[in-house]
Chains A and B, each alone.
Chain A
Amino acid sequence: MIRYDILKTIAPILKDRLVVCNIGSPSQELYQLLDQPSNFYMLGTMGLCSSIGLGVALVQDQPVIAIDGDGSVLTNLATLSTIANNPADNFVLLIVDNGSYGSTGDQPTYAGMATSLTEVAKACGCRNVVECSAEETAAELERAISSGKMTIIISKCQPGNVNVSVIDDDPVNIANRFSNQIRELNS
């Protein structure tokens, strides 16, 4: 399974939930599969998906799912220590770990070599860290949301992207509809 297959299997779980999605292919693929006002698409700023997701989770009560990638987490590796030390039990960080920089031509990342993001997350002090296969991801995500405990899921899958178009929506519109949705869900 590649990232797109995982997104397809988790789309029913993501429906009507707050989702912060990583830059490039992940956001473009999610946009095609399940565009909804409660999705925040990153159009730039590699590495900050988990930080944005944690920020949203810390200031309101609805569950937040950040869909990040191994390359992106490596860019902002210290985020795992910030997450561990500021736990938000409504936060799930799903790291789609395909061992490659998918949006830039599938160059290999260190997460697909000697570095284990699962072990890094644990060493940073994250409590509920789950490594699973692509096939197990939907069940693990469901479990993480219903557990009411902040969870980091590292979903190991194959590299590869599908051919989807870029997101042509306006960033301010993406931000506004996301914020409005948060207000509505919390009212």
Chain B
Amino acid sequence: MPTTTDKAILDSLVRNKIGFITSVPCKQLAGVIELVDSHEEIYHIPSNKEDEGMGLCAGAYLGGTRSAIIMQNTALGVAINSLVTLIQYYHIPLPMLISYRGEVGEKVACQVEMAIHTKPLLQQLNIPHYHFTKAEQVNSLDGILQHSQMCKKPVAILADASFWSSAS
């Protein structure tokens, strides 16, 4: 069941005219994905892998529709080339709503391995990133989405286990 926080995320996406969203699922993102999938103003297209998703998002943006991707932080390893040679090279705004697995509260040890590399990778790639640990931080999403469009860059919203567990 989607939470109030999931609903707040959806409302922010819609307010910011994001009309095309691709996703690769994560348990923590299930509520948001459910809402995105059923919203009539958003074309939701599940992708098999995050680099494929970035191709779809780039095409939609070039076609005139703001796009976003919903994914896990583990996918950064899959998507670096696409982020650099497509999204950044062609100046395409791409908000990435990322389930930040492997942070405090994580139950699957292997997830910690990629969590350790997540922020250093984003730093190295010059991708602005925002770490969400509490549900009320969802209030800053509007500003982050506007920022991505303004500077035509990918931005990462890293929503960790504490964020999702504090959601009501």
A residues touching B (Cβ–Cβ < 8 Å)?
A: 20, 40, 42-45, 47-60, 76, 78-79, 81-82, 86, 171-172, 174-175, 178-179, 182-183, 186
Contacts and interface: CB of A to CB of B under 8 A. Distances in A.
Nearest to A51: B55
A54 B59 contact: yes
Contact of B56 (A42, A82, A186): A82
A79 B120 CA distance: 30
Contact of B43 (A40, A49, A58): A58
Given A48-B51, A179-B62, A172 B56 contact: no
A179 B152 CA distance: 14
B54 A48 contact: yes
B5 to A, nearest CB: 28
Interface string B72-91: 00000000011011100111
Interface stretch (B7-15, B63-71, B135-143): B63-71
A79 B62 contact: no
B59 A44 contact: no
Contacts of A186: 64
B51 A59 contact: no
B86 A44 contact: yes
A44 B92 CA distance: 14
B45 interface: yes
